[in-house]
Amino acid sequence: MRVEEKQTTVDRETGSQTIGRSFEKVCEILDHHQRNPAMLIPILQAVQAEYRYLPKEALAYVATSLGLPPARVFGVATFYAHFALSPKGKYVIHVCDGTACHVKNSQGLVDAIRKRLGLSEDKHTTDDMLFTVETVSCVGACGLAPVAVINEAVHRQVSPQAGVAAIEKILESEEQA
Amino acid sequence: MTTTAKTPTEILADAEAAHRAVAGAVERRIIICAGTGCVAGGALAVRDAFAAKLDTLGLRVTIALEYESPAAADVYLSKSGCQGFCQMGPLVTIEPEGVLYTKVQAEDVAEIVQTTLMGGDVVERLLYVDPRKREHCRSKDDIPFYQRQERTALKECGSLDPEDIREYIALGGYHGARRALCEMTPEEICAEVLRSGLRGRGGGGFPTGRKWELTRVQPGHEKYVICNGDEGDPGAFMDRSLMEGNPHAVIEGMLIAARAVGARTGYVYVRMEYPLAVKRLRRAVDDAHRFGVLGADILGSGFDFELKIMEGAGAFVCGEETALIASVEGKRGMPMPKPPFPAQSGLRGKPTVINNVETLAAIPLILRTGAEAYRARGTANSPGTKTFALTGHVANTGLIEVPFGATLNEIVYEIGGGVTDNAGRITDRPFKAVQIGGPSGGCLVGEHADLPLDFDSLGSVGAMVGSGGLVVMNDTTCMVSVARFFMQFAQNESCGKCVLCREGTRQMLALLDEIIAGDADETTLTVLEQTAQAVKTGSLCGLGKTAPNPVLSTLHYFKEEYEAHVFDKRCPVGACKALTPPVILAEKCIGCGLCVRKCPVKAIAGEKKQPHVIDHQTCVKCGVCLDACKFGAIVQGVAV
Ligand SMILES: Cc1cc2nc3c(=O)[nH]c(=O)nc-3n(C[C@H](O)[C@H](O)[C@H](O)COP(=O)(O)O)c2cc1C
Ligand code: FES
């Protein structure tokens, strides 16, 4: 793939670090994994942990450094649900839609949260980059269904009202900040 | 820690003695459940509150036993893995009395300290109340949820500090590994596991001893052991609890497997949604290295074994063994046709044993107490116990363990405490269905209430043990929607490699959507069933082969419900919005007439200022009136 100049500016606008710095970090990550192509998934996980998503040029850079065809790296990055190719919001809300949560009305919860934030099944991130709302299949807390995870903190037995209340609380704290 | 001069038995005995000495010096132990559920409920704040409160009283508190520089403490605030009773968390146990407090919040701590620790009394309001007998239960042993279970794999999960390897050893840990490494040949280990009758808990139920033996006899020195901690079934969390609550049991199981087949390297593949499991496993691996039960020359036996932890990246199909292997190799997790089986050609083309977390966690016990003792539980063809995640419309949701052969009645009513309505209250109405085995499984209904559950009996009624998710559904659940839910899941997770799975799941999902939207005709059910059979027969891997199961199983047991959707355009429980006409709530309707004007088919009528009514014969269920009404007086999706 060609790394286009245009792409770089787009990413700058969306608030990620500048490309020069990102390569430095990516290099560190690659070295940490001995530039071993078999470690592609852990490498991408580390890159994503750094930037909250996988910038396109970082993927191209990883491919070149590991001596892999870029298609292979993109193939892996798009195959796994965990990898995001576009930036995520500051607060990532994972609403569980596993079986246990589903039978306890997780759909109502997702609908309520999406409605509050003006999001939909196709639009996951708010324009101000504050919230990303996604559904996941089971976070392993099924005894507490329905469950929502906001930036790694697990919330239990979340009714649609409680979900919206949690969002209001975040909005409030953001306004104060 | 040096291991040079000591015998393996001495190494373990020393660790045990160290634990007893240090633990014995502490008067009290307060065990706080630090499973995911209790942490979500505020367990860590409870622990901090205990530490602060005890500190103000001048008591010396420790949150981990200090072995290097043992300083006597008065109270040991220890955390445990998931104790299973998630519904009632956060759970706090006060030792030595064994009092169990439920739903504890930081605000309750002062009272517990005052009343129980100082006064020797119990705080009644924090005890669990048996809803049947309306009695307070003082300890775990009094609670029906625990009384009816037989916890072996999970036994230590509720008390052991998962970050304390010495405590694990003191409870008999690594003794099975010692026996395997120092007293048995690889052949004998395989034979012992085969004799125990242990069958894989990952879903298939393949005899573990046979799998190991197949791998053992392969030529070559490079072999691998993989622990499958991908736990993809949405609605199941047994493996998570084991990895978090007793990580050393998993490691010991892998060590024994490695010895049995001659592998030098192992991988634990953990779902990315389980960060705590990853953390605990990493810590456990480090501790095991320091104790010489991992690494080079383990327990002086000359055997070497290294263990690596790898996080998944969110793909259900990676739970399938060949896909998992591709993922460990850094590729897209796509399955490969079998044979060759991983035992013949697995990771990097080398013979590989791949076992589920729960399977591996059962191994130390088998080696420690012997195959016969293990066989004493369970049924002849499915020995031992099985953990289940009991969820859905049931009073006591959580993690349970019962011997194979337990019945649904025992599980749902005696352990689960009964079926609940949508508001969470216990009802007298029976369950409508219990979904077992997740997206690959099927449903069990009233007629199976007394069926002894094991691998073979479940297979004979079109269901499967699967990973062990048990989702109880009450009579407000629409079974067509349930089938659609699982199909959506399978369709999302289909890796796209083979046509029947990729296109077939899409077709089935479209057909189910038609049924739910009221667009189905007399051919729909036939096409659905034919497609299901085709996908079942023609898919490459287990995902596609089993994806039609929820459809076939609900079609079998709830045919009338499908037919009501298709022919009468009616959802019997009123869950499918498009098939349930809107109704006007008389108490909320002020008779403004707005809906009358908006209704495109003139189905609404009524006097001004009087509650209106909808003529269900004329209504096309478009939903316009719902949006029009400003008073929330029109609802849809409730049974009429
Ligand atoms: C689609 C699919 C998903 C699977 N998911 C899991 C899983 O999450 N965990 C697991 O242990 N086995 C899973 N399996 C079964 C594995 O392929 C394999 O049979 C199992 O790990 C073997 O271990 P066992 O013999 O100890 O059961 C899955 C199989 C299929 C077809
Ligand atoms: S189904 Fe939601 S946490 Fe498991």
Only one residue has tokens 């998993």, namely B250
Residues of chain B found within 8 Å of residue A156, distances taken between Cβ atoms: 37, 40-41
Mean pLDDT value across residues B198-227: 96
Spatial distance between the Cα atoms of B617 and B316, rounded to a whole number of angstroms: 45
Confidence (pLDDT) at B47: 95
Residue A4, pLDDT score = 38
**What pLDDT, on the 0 to 100 scale, is given for residue B576?**
87
pLDDT, tens digit, for every residue of B297-317?
999 999 999 999 999 998 999
Rg (CA), chain A: 18
Residues of chain B above pLDDT 90, percent: 79
Ramachandran category for residue B637: left, alpha or beta (phi over 0 → left; psi -120 to 50 → alpha): left
Model confidence pLDDT, tens digit, residues B518-555: 999 999 999 999 999 999 999 999 999 999 999 999 99
State the complex-level ipTM. 0.85
What is the CA angle B526-B532-B537, rounded to 5?
A: 130
C-alpha separations of B337 from A138, B254, B311, B491 in Å = 28, 26, 24, 20
Structure-token pair, residue B530: 């034919």
Q: Which amino acid is at B332?
A: R
User: What is the per-residue pLDDT across B47-81, written as a single tens digit (0 to 9) for each?
Assistant: 999 999 999 999 999 988 888 876 778 999 999 99
Higher pLDDT residue, B262 or A7? Answer: B262
Residue B223's nearest CA partner among B322, B310, B350, B356 is B350
* Facing A156 at nearest CB: one of B40, B231, B333: B40
Q: How many CB atoms lie within 10 A of CB B187?
A: 12
Write phi, then psi, for B189 (nearest 5 degrees): -60, -50
A55: three-class secondary structure by DSSP: coil
Q: For B392, name the nearest residue in chain A, comparing CA atoms only.
A: A100
pLDDT greater than 80 at residue B631: yes
Q: For residues B290 and B246, what is the distance between their CA atoms, to the nearest angstrom?
A: 18
Q: What is the mean pLDDT of chain B?
A: 93
Residues from chain A that touch B469, judged by Cβ atoms under 8 A, are 99-100, 142
Low-confidence ranges of chain A (pLDDT < 70): 1-22
Verify whether ligand 1 is closer than 6 Å to residue B466 (CB atom): no
Lowest mean pLDDT among A100-109, B363-372, B409-418, B483-492: A100-109
Token readout for B572 is 């019997």
Res B249 pLDDT > 60: yes
pLDDT score of A19: 53
**Is there a contact between B453 and B407 (Cβ–Cβ < 8 Å)?**
yes
The pLDDT of B245-254, averaged and rounded, is: 97
Inform me whether the C-beta atom of residue B315 falls under 8 Å from chain A C-beta atoms.
Answer: yes
Angle at B80 between CA B399 and CA B10, to 5 degrees: 115
Over range B248-273, report the average pLDDT.
97
Which domains can be identified in chain B, with CATH numbers? 11-143 (3.40.30.10), 172-375 (3.40.50.11540), 385-473 (3.10.20.600), 479-567 (1.20.1440.230), 581-635 (3.30.70.20)
Least confident range of B80-94, B289-303, B610-624: B610-624
Nearest CA to ligand 2 atom 1: A98
Name the residue of A95, A96, A103, A156 to mutate for ligand 2: max ligand atoms within 8 A of Cβ: A96
CB B225 within 8 A of CB B268: no
Contact with chain A for residue B438, Cβ under 8 A: yes
Q: Tell me, what's the pLDDT at B619? A: 82
Q: Please, which residues bridge with residue B385 across strands?
A: B403
CA distance B390 to A129: 38
Q: What value does the mean pLDDT take over residues B100-125?
A: 95
Looking at residue B637, its pLDDT comes to 63
Cα–Cα dist B93/B290, whole Å: 31
- Choosing among B44, B154, B331, B432, which should be mutated to test the A contact, i.e. which has the most A CBs within 10 A? B331
For the entire predicted model, the pTM comes to 0.90
Q: Give the C-alpha distances (Å, rounded to integers) separating B568 from B565, B574, B616.
A: 6, 13, 13
Q: Does any CB of chain A come closer than 8 Å to the CB of residue B237?
A: yes
Smallest CA–CA distance, residue A146 to chain B, in Å, is 10
Closest ligand by atom to A155 CA: 2
Query: Using an 8 Å Cβ cutoff, are B104 and B50 in contact?
Result: no
**DSSP at B414:** I
A41, A143, A155 ranked by CB distance to B330: nearest: A41
User: Residues B458-483: pLDDT tens digits?
Assistant: 989 888 888 889 999 999 899 999 99
Task: Evaluate: CB of B42 within 6 angstroms of ligand 2.
Answer: no
| Angstrom distance (rounded) from CA B406 to CA B497 | 39
Averaged pLDDT for residues B155-175: 94
- Please report the pLDDT score of residue A15 as a whole number: 43
Q: How far is the CA of A17 from the centre of ligand 2 (A)?
A: 35
Q: What is the pLDDT of residue B450?
A: 96
